[in-house]
Amino acid sequence: MAYYALGLLVLSTLLSPIHSRPLQDSQPIASCPTSDAVRFKGTTANNVESFLNIRFGEDTSGANRFTPPKPFNYPPGTLVNATTPGAACPQPKQAVSTMPLFDNVTHMSEDCLTLRVDRPAGTPASAKLPVMVWIYGGGDTFGQIYDSAYDPTGLVLGAASKGYPVIYVAMNYRVGVFGFAASPALNATDSLNAGLLDQRLAIEWVRDHIAAFGGDPENVTIFGESDGATGVGLQITAYGGKQKAPFKRAIMQSGSPMADKETAGTKSLRHTRELTKLVNCTASTSEAELQCLRSIPMAKLNSIAVTYENKVGGNSGMGVFVPVAPSTFIPDSPSKLLATGRFSRNIDTLAGWNEDDGSFSTLPTLSSDEDVFAYLKYEYPALSNKTIKQAMALYPVSSFPDLPSENISAHYFRTSRMERDAEFTCPTLYTAQMNHKFSPDTANYLFSLNQTVYRSAYAAANVSYLGVSHFSDIPYVFNQASAEALAPYATKEDLRLSNEISGSWAAFANTGQPSAGNGTITGWIDAFGSGGGALDEFLHVLGGPDSGSRKTKYDDLGARCAFWNSQEALAGRGV
């Protein structure tokens, strides 16, 4: 996915870092209840105990590059110093200028398969608290568990204060070519989708070890945003549902199993081939090329890959190397896995999108029907001209405003809404529908976020057209609206929403319901709780003038999602 919001470099400077956590003297200890007697020494800050840089996978360098992760086991009797952050996996060093949230990466290594565990201070090993496992986003291109945008302090403390305490876990996983390379040699050894396999191994580590930290391995919720949410969705469809999922519930924020274009295409294969040429690893066999790619020093391969990603993936460099189907982990296109019930059943879900999720990824200079057509043809080259014209007809330009003060045409807003529906909204609805169809007793909660703490900052940067953009949910979910960097922009409504949304996420992890009293969102009903049928689900609008539950038909989503979820449109997107 390309991002075209070029005016956010100033905004990125304004809003980062979100948190600075002073360390306190207390050093809690967590002991694994096994014969190995491994213990973990953590730190305490702001009444949250944190255990950092816990290894769950072996070093992925050398012969392990591109391969499925190998579990790491500490030697018996080890006291693990889990007091300082570890390295990020290889990725761009500098935060993308169009992203208002992310920190620069100062330390990276292929020995990066580590996780963190955070819990309310004083949590005993016997607590059996629900566990929330975070999967970061970043277009399959960047991300790290220590980014200040994902500081769990507000979430953990707010959840505990409402009576819904949780254990928070987040894992590093490989991104870019290191996590999503594709080649015949990798396919032959079941080594596609290494980044998703990293996620899976970490979730399995939680299942096997979280009891030592006071967590309940039988009550695990995985949650993520953007490509993190896509990772969540693909963990649900993993192995076509043939393996029992090591989690009970799932939250998908602006993402689904069907979000990444060309997952069922040749995107990663094409780009891996081009990168192989750039690093002079072209050979007579795929195996020889793979051996050559593994011999290149990490810094060199990463640098060349990042330059290549920025060249072909827009100014963000995102979404160049993506998950691959068919493969062992994703045995068919995600939409077909969902349509045929080949996914883990009995997983309660909470999923949704932001009102203007497409604004970052839409070219702001679009100003005519011809511009829109050319843009859609570039974004979805497999869609026929007829199909693109059908899409445009569902979004008449007369239904959208101009913004002359920022030189933004109605055609931009029209296309942004198409991007939102194609990439986020309609795949999310389809996922919920299929989950309900094949597991009618599971809970499915839908939301649309219609408020952003970034509104005044966007206005100050003259990019107010971004609206309730992608990533707007992050400060609310992590309960950070009152954080130092955001406080100057947060309204009373932002503070309230931050408190309630984070509380509802924790309540869902505890009870399976996001409306659970004690300062959570009120009146949020199951999407199918009132007998809703196809494209007639109930969603909860979070924030803004339309706040509250309503049917999903309210925004012409019935006809629009029928189009985007049609076989022709799904095939054109490669999902």
Give residue-wise pLDDT tens across range 152-208: 999 999 999 999 999 999 999 999 999 999 999 999 999 999 999 999 999 999 999
Q: Domain limits of the chain? A: 6-573
Per-residue model confidence as pLDDT tens digits over 127-151 = 999 999 999 999 999 999 999 999 9
C-alpha count within 13 angstroms, C-beta hemisphere, residue 210: 32
pLDDT at 95: 60
Give the per-residue pLDDT at 484: 86
Q: How confident is the model at residue 389 (pLDDT cuts 50, 70, 90)?
A: very high
Q: Are 259 and 230 within 8 A, CB to CB?
A: yes
| pLDDT mean over 358-386 | 96
* pLDDT tens-digit readout, 459-516: 989 999 999 999 999 999 999 999 888 989 999 999 999 999 999 999 999 999 999 9
**Catalytic annotation, pick one of 226, 359, 416, 504:** 226
Domain 6-573, CATH number (from 3.40.50.1820, 3.50.50.60, 2.40.50.70, 3.40.50.620): 3.40.50.1820
CA 509 to chain centre: 17
Neighbours of 284 (CB within 10 A): 7
Which pLDDT score is estimated for 452?
97
Tell me what the mean pLDDT of segment 411-420 comes to: 98
Which long-range CB contacts under 8 A does 497-504 form with residues at least 24 apart?
A: 497/451, 497/542, 497/543, 498/154, 498/453, 499/158, 501/473, 501/476, 501/477, 501/542, 502/154, 502/155, 502/158, 502/159, 502/476, 502/477, 502/478, 503/158, 503/159, 503/162, 503/164
Question: Among 492, 494, 491, which residue's Cα sits nearest to residue 473?
Answer: 494
Q: What is the pLDDT of residues 424-472, one digit of tens each?
A: 999 999 999 999 999 999 999 999 999 999 999 899 899 999 999 999 9
Please, which residues bridge with residue 108 across strands?
Answer: 88
In whole numbers, what is the pLDDT of the chain averaged over residues? Answer: 92
HEC-encoded secondary structure of 561-574? HHHHCCHHHHHHHC
* Annotation says 226 is catalytic: yes
Q: Does 4 score more than 60 pLDDT? A: no
CA-based R_g, the chain, Å: 22
Lowest average pLDDT, out of 17-31, 266-280, 395-409, 427-441, goes to 17-31
pLDDT at 10: 38
Q: Pairing state of beta strands 114-120 and 249-253?
A: unpaired
